[in-house]
Structure 1
Amino acid sequence: MSNDVVLREGPLSGTRIAVLVESDFYEPEIFYYQRRFAEEGAQVDFLTRLWGQDSITFTGHEYRAPFTADRSLEGIGDDELRAYAALIVPSGMVADRLRYTEDVDVLAPATELLRRAFEEPTVLKGIICHGMWLASSIPGTVRGRKVVCHNNLIGDVRNMGGQYVDEDVVVDGDLVTGRTGAHHHLFARRIIELIAAGRGRRAD
């Protein structure tokens, strides 16, 4: 499936949104982000660990649909990270695959990127469903914060010190969390609203 989409002028024109991707992604969610954010004018970059390759074609979890990523999440400098309006960790098995590290004493590259994003308050962090797995090695990022996640991860969230809230989408400052992949449309809408509102405040 082609990753090319046409951007339209919209409230998010000129902004960039990063979405992490790997095999066993939830197709309805990833393809929705690809088009929904573009509909608002935002450029969407799908980032992954490329393992020295120019690109990797992943397969989805539900329908085995292909999706090719050619942007590396490794080597992203602070300026490039701050250029993103949001960094999204999607549902499915993406987070579980991206949290793999060869050295158990070193954070996986995707986890390290998420940790750095949490140090940038201007970057909205979006974590939905099993995406919370990626934050399991950096529990301080969600400790004391209100979050929602898949029911299977409630114990993980509480062990991380997070405050579970029984809502479909929860916003706590620069962190947006969603219940399941099936709630991706509600999750994306809230992210769009928050980015647009933030741009409006900066323009005042």
Structure 2
Amino acid sequence: MSDLLLRDGPLSGTKIAVLVESDYFEPEIHYYHRRFAEEGAEVRFLTRLWGQPEITFHGHEWRAPFTARESVEGISDAELRSYAAVIVPSGMVSDRLRYTEDVNELAPAVDLLRRAFQEPGVLKGVICHGFWLLAPIPQTIRGRKVACHNNLVGDVRNMGAEYVDADVVIDGDDLVTGRTGMHAHLFARQIIDMLTDRRVAA
């Protein structure tokens, strides 16, 4: 779902991927949908489509429908690098996307994140319960400073990350993390600023 008119802005020509699934947090996802477009960025909502052309999910708060038409599967390295940022949102999105039929294989969304963490040019954003998607690949955040929901502090510490008691944390120049979906505006602001700084530097 990426049908908004894009404003001419500092992120014009930039693509941002946001993962989505059932029980998404409506205020957060709807905010990203509009806020990044205000800066000129094109937002692509990715999910596992299970061979279907599209899937309509329903939110956690009000059961609001949201249709996704782009898959996390089959994304080439070149296509992955075409995204300026990949965002793992709050809610139950990560728990649903980390499902795998074979427990010895990474779920497609987990594998996409694993590859994204190998690309320093792709900014990674993880907020609230988004860390569930990284649980099968703890090496991605081992030794890194992160913020997360209070309920996941033990999880991120067990993954080897350094928990920081803050609403938003920046670690290096390619990782932004946030406390909860209610902090999505602060989280998005940091992502916008970092992507803008990258473009100015380039």
**CA RMSD after TM alignment:** 0.7
Measure the CA separation in 2 of the matches of 1:191 and 1:59: 26
Give distance in 1, aligned partners of 2:185 and 2:62: 19
Mapped to 1, the partners of 2:23 and 2:79 lie a distance apart of 27
Q: Unpaired runs of 5+ in structure 1?
A: none
Q: Residues 1-204 of structure 1 correspond to what in structure 2 (within 5 A)?
A: 3-173=2-172, 174-202=174-202
Indicate if the aligned counterparts of 1:3 and 1:68 stay in contact, CA closer than 8 A: no
List structure 1 segments (4+ residues) > 2 angstroms apart after TM superposition: none
How far the C-alpha of 1:188 sits from its partner, in A, is 0.3
TM-fit CA distance, 1:4: 2.0
Retained in 1: the 8 A contact 2:98–2:109?
yes
TM-score (norm 1): 0.98
1: CA distance between counterparts of 2:26 and 2:111?
25
Aligned positions, number: 201
Q: Percent identity?
A: 73
Alpha-carbon contact 1:3-1:67 (below 8 Å) kept: no
Letter in 2 for 1:100: Y
State the TM-score, normalizing by the size of structure 2. 0.98
How far the C-alpha of 1:197 sits from its partner, in A, is 0.2
Deviations 1:65-88 (A, max 9, x none): 000000011000000000000000
Q: Structure 2: which amino acid aligns with 1:85?
A: A
